[in-house]
Structure 1
Amino acid sequence: MNIRPENILDYPTIAEVNTLAFGGEKEAKLVEIIRSSNGYIPELSLVAEIENTVVGYIMFSYIDLVAEEQLPVLSLAPMAVHPEWQKQGIGSALLKLGLEIADNRGEALVIVLGYPQLYTPFGFQGSINYQIESPFAVPEDVFMVKTLSGYHEKYKGKVIYPPAFKTDNF
């Protein structure tokens, strides 16, 4: 398996992987919208390929954390693996490398809305532990934070997602 940053030639396959993994086009459209926003980070939009075929994808992009000041933090969304390749460690490999790259960049933290059993082994904890508030009415254990080397206690407040994440965009 090879993991690398996406390129323009990957876009159709990335859309297909997201559509198949999630059973609809919402996440594929989210990726397109984020790519055209100022929250897009090419270095943190990764594909996993096997025999030169994209089978997995992960995207980290900037969102805001607002309290006394507005601070950029990372959102992890989406992460997808083609259904034929799921449960083979591809998502874990993408997540591990993505977190390493983000940490090496000096990013402060990553926010994810997802399954605790998937993310807690990678050090994610409930956002409430960091005084970080979700903008969504979701159970506390599914809105999670992973701190990185750039983390400082000033990172607390309410998460504000950019317009790309608004469901009426889809």
Structure 2
Amino acid sequence: MLIRRETPADIDAIRELTNLAFDNLPYASGQEAELIDSLRADEGWIPELSLVEDSVLGHVVCTRGYIGEVPALGLGPLSVHPDHQRSGVGKALMHAVLGAAEARGERAVILLGSPDYYSRFGFRLAAEFGITPPVAEWAPHFQARLFGEVPGGAFRYAEPFNQL
């Protein structure tokens, strides 16, 4: 499976993929595709951390966030085409984006998601590191993967997340 950086030619396919992947999920906002478009225009966008499976059956993105004033990454959305879920696409994307983040010298990746799923990639509840979510109710699903030392404190996503 080939994982590569997104290109401008992938944008429409990513939008369609994201809508399909999040369609009818109870926790989805219905704005995930628009969020990615907004993130591309934000100062927190990091092009080398927007990755696709070569035929755009999956997509993952990390953008600049902060723990207090310390740079960190916010991961998400992670999208896999419904017909290809549980086939290793999401796993490959996660390994690729985490490897790219670590290679860039990033200190932490933060996400909101299933602890059962993301623990396999080394994520632990962010509270274990003293990192708090923007919304207190997120705590049971708010997770961190550290590559270096980071202080505890409140995490803040790239600005487009605040528009949800």
Normalising TM by the smaller chain, what interval?
over 0.9
Task: Using the TM superposition, give the Cα deviation of residue 161 of structure 1 relative to its aligned residue in structure 2, in angstroms.
Answer: 2.3
Distance 2:50 2:158 in 1: 17
Letter in 1 for 2:4: R
1:106 aligned counterpart, secondary structure: coil
Q: Tell me which amino acid in the other structure corresponds to 1:30.
A: L
The corresponding residue for 1:35 is: 40
Does residue 106 in structure 1 map to residue 98 in structure 2?
Answer: no
Q: Which residue is equivalent to 2:155?
A: 159
Counterpart CA distance in 2 for 1:31 and 1:139 is 21
Alignment of 1:1-170 (within 5 A): 1-23=1-23, 25-49=30-54, 53-66=55-68, 70-148=69-147, 151-152=148-149, 154-168=150-164
Partner of 2:26: none
CA contact 1:18–1:25 (8 Å) conserved in 2: no
8 Å contact 2:18–2:80 — kept in the other structure? yes
Give the distance between the partners of 1:163 and 1:103, measured in 2 at CA. 23
Query: 2: CA distance between counterparts of 1:106 and 1:162?
Result: 19
Range with greater deviation from structure 2 (138-147 or 116-125): 138-147
Amino acid aligned to 2:81: H
Q: Which runs of 5+ in 1 are unaligned?
A: none
- Aligned residues of 1:55 and 1:81 also touching (Cα < 8 A): yes
Identify unmatched segments of 5+ residues in structure 2.
Answer: 24-28
How big is each residue's C-alpha offset from its partner over 1:61-89, in whole Å with a ceiling of 9 and x where there is no partner? 001111xxx11100001000010111101
1:107-161 superposed Cα distances (whole Å, 9 cap, x missing partner) = 000000000111001110001110101111325331000001xx22x42210122
Shift of 1:25: 4.3
Other structure's SS at 1:74 match: strand
Q: Describe the SS at the equivalent of 2:137.
A: coil
The question of whether the paired residues in 2 share the 8 Å contact of 1:2 and 1:48 is answered with: yes
Equivalenced residue count is 159
Farther-moved stretch of structure 1 (53-62 vs 157-166): 157-166
Q: Percent identity?
A: 36
Q: In 1, distance between residues paired with 2:119 and 2:140?
A: 10
Q: CA deviation at 1:46?
A: 0.1
Distance 1:92 1:132 in 2: 25
Detail structure 1 runs of 4+ shifted over 2 Å in the superposition: 137-141
134-143 or 8-17: bigger deviation: 134-143
Question: For residues 28 and 139 of structure 1, do their structure 2 counterparts lie closer, same or farther at Cα, with a shift above 3 Å needed?
Answer: closer
- Tell me, yes or no, if the aligned pair for 1:48 and 1:94 is still in contact at 8 Å: yes
Q: What is the one-letter code of the residue matched to 1:160?
A: R
